[in-house]
Amino acid sequence: MFMDEKGKLFGKVSIIDVLVVVVILAGIVGAVFAFGKINSGAVLTENKGIVRHDSTLDTLEVTMRLREVRSMTKDAIHIGDEVFAKDTGKYLGTVVSVTSEPAKKIISGFDGRSALATVPEKMDVLMVLHVDGKRTDGGFFTGNNIHLVYGSEMQIITPSIQSTPIIEQIKIVTEE
Amino acid sequence: MLIDEKGKLFGKINLLDLLVILILVAAIAFGGWYFMRGKAEGAGKLTVRYVVEVVEKDPEYFDYIIPGESVVDGVTKQPMGRIVSFETKPTKILAQNNRDMTLVYDEVEGKLNGNITIEVEADVSYPDLLSGNEKIKIGKDVAYRSESAAMKGYIIGIEYDEEKLEAMR
């Protein structure tokens, strides 16, 4: 008989025991599934605009300004370098252009004058990245849901440097 | 018989207990694999020389920077390598020339900046070079100590065999 008078399946295994095992297995499967969804970016654990994992992504061109750095910093950034967010380690984008211009600082004199003075031996480095992302209702987001905000500072690392540049421009280069 | 009338495998082990144990072992094995895989990817050792800049030091400070001494992170105590060499130059600070409204560097009498070169066998875990858990990056502010001196400054240069690093990636 399928279940005996003692509630055992085929007279061997208690139905309650079987149900407990099924619940545990269902919980594990559910956790793996949910973890996969979070990992792929389809679901965020925070309340922000979402780039769903099945969205087609555009190529964003993001210009970042590293302020008042020395030449050794610029020399350590190369086209093709991958850039990551320092706090999460998430991939941000790839460097496509590195240029520099003299660093400048506003100074004021005792006589009430002010001037935009060049900072000697320092430069601003303009680093342009290509980033897979999208503009959503909540703003620009990368494919793994890093929020890109004009004027914000972002701690980044590359294979050689760490820095906190300011996002100076975000534009869509190619649309999918 | 495989399962007896009491639900025990070979009459010895309760079937439910066995299933729970198997599930727990699988979960522990998966967790171990998941958290260890980051260390395994791109693993390898690379000889790295990096330069820490310290500023505005009295000349006597550099009597305590001794090549060969080991260096550790002052906070985490992670080993960061050994001092290879150092060089000094006069400290210059940025000052404002009010006459023509420009910024100029002015030498500070009696103070020196130093570039301390440290060598370490770093772990390679792309995109990072690591000594223990500490990343070695240009621009990183550091607080290290050797056997004789404390050094607080910034990493301003890194050197390594690029071909070897590329082969390890």
- Does residue B143 form part of some domain? yes
**Same-domain check for residues B135 and B74:** yes
- Does residue A47 form part of some domain? no
Q: Where residue A37 falls among pLDDT bands split at 50, 70, 90?
A: low
Domain that holds residue A12: 8-39
**Same-domain check for residues A25 and A105:** no
Position A131: which residue type? V
- Does residue B104 form part of some domain? yes
- Taking residues A23-46, report their average pLDDT: 69
**Same-domain check for residues A33 and A75:** no
Domain count, chain B: 2
> What DSSP line would sit under A120-147, residue for residue?
EEEEEEEEEEEEEEEEETTEEEETT--E
Which residue of chain A is at minimal alpha-carbon distance from B15? A13
Residues of chain B in Cβ contact (below 8 Å) with chain A: 3-5, 7, 15-16, 19-20, 23, 27, 94, 96, 98, 101-105, 126-129, 135, 137-140, 156-158
By C-alpha distance, which of A84, A90, A96, A100 is closest to A60? A96
- Does residue A134 form part of some domain? yes
**Same-domain check for residues A68 and A138:** yes
Which residues, given as ranges, of chain B have pLDDT below 70?
Answer: 1, 7, 34-43, 169
Exposure string of A23-51, with b = 16+ CB inside 10 Å and e = fewer, is eeeeeeeeeeeeeeeeeebeeeeeeeebb
**Same-domain check for residues A30 and A113:** no
| Contact by Cβ (8 Å): B150, B138 | no
Residue A61: enclosing H or E segment and its boundaries?
strand A58-69
**Same-domain check for residues B17 and B75:** no
> Looking at residue A47, what is its pLDDT?
40
Position B162: which residue type? E
- Does residue A48 form part of some domain? no
**Same-domain check for residues B91 and B164:** yes
Q: What's the CA gap between B26 and A48, in Å, rounded?
A: 34
A85 at B interface, C-beta within 8 A: no
Tell me the pLDDT tens digit for each residue of A39-71: 555 544 444 445 555 568 899 999 999 999 999
**Same-domain check for residues B34 and B50:** no
| Contact by Cβ (8 Å): B122, B18 | no
Whether pLDDT at A20 is above 70? yes
